[in-house]
Each structure stands twice: as structure tokens, then as C-alpha cells.
């Protein structure tokens, strides 16, 4: 993954679409916003090829993985700080 210099690769998720975008998601709010945007794209892609919808859903899966990671790290934060 080639991340633009203004984005931290540890806070970014690469799209499953070849040459696709890089989702900057350092927190739960940004992850949720990216997921919502993809859900809107899926809803409006009724005439799009099925492959595109599958790729959007795959991106949502990757973003959900990132979300799970952030939740787990947030739950461990007090433990890590002590």
C-alpha cells in the first residue's frame, strides 16, 4: 500500500478495489462515516455491475475489521496506560 505522505499508514485502510482509495480512519467516527458512504453507494448502484457492489461490500468488511480493532484497543486503553 502506498500511502500519501499526509496520511499515517497505521491509521489508514486500503480499498479492496485495485487502485482504489485509501480510507483514513484514525477513530470510530471516521470509520463509521466511510461505511455509511459505501452503504449509500451500494443503495444508489442498482444499475451498476454486480462486481462493483461486491467490491463496495468487501471494503465495508475491511472497514469493519478496522472498527473492531479500534474498539478492542479502546477497551484495552486503561490497561495499557497503567
**Mean pLDDT calculated for residue range 14-36:** 91
Q: Is residue 29 part of a domain?
A: yes
Domain assignment of residue 17, given as a range: 11-75
Q: Report yes or no on 80 lying in a domain.
A: no
Query: Which residues make beta-bridge pairs with 13?
Result: 23
Residue 4 included in any domain: no
Q: What is the pLDDT of residues 38-52, one digit of tens each?
A: 999 999 987 777 788
The residue with greater pLDDT, 54 or 18, is: 54
- Residue 48's φ and ψ, nearest 5 degrees, are -75, 155
Which range has highest mean pLDDT (6-15, 29-38, 72-81)?
A: 29-38
Tally of domains in the chain: 1
* pTM of the shown model: 0.81
Average pLDDT score over residue span 15-20: 85
Domain annotation covers residue 40:
yes
Contact 63, 34 (CB under 8 A): yes
The answer to whether position 61 is within a domain reads yes
Residue 81 lies in a domain: no
Amino acid at each position: 500500500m502506498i500511502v500519501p505522505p499526509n496520511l499515517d499508514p497505521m491509521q489508514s485502510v486500503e480499498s479492496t478495489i485495485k487502485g482504489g482509495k485509501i480510507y483514513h480512519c484514525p477513530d470510530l467516527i471516521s470509520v463509521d462515516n466511510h461505511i455509511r458512504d459505501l452503504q449509500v453507494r451500494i443503495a444508489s448502484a442498482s444499475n451498476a455491475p454486480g462486481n462493483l457492489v461486491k467490491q463496495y461490500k468487501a471494503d465495508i468488511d475491511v472497514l469493519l475489521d478496522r472498527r473492531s480493532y479500534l474498539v478492542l484497543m479502546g477497551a484495552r486503553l486503561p490497561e495499557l496506560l497503567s
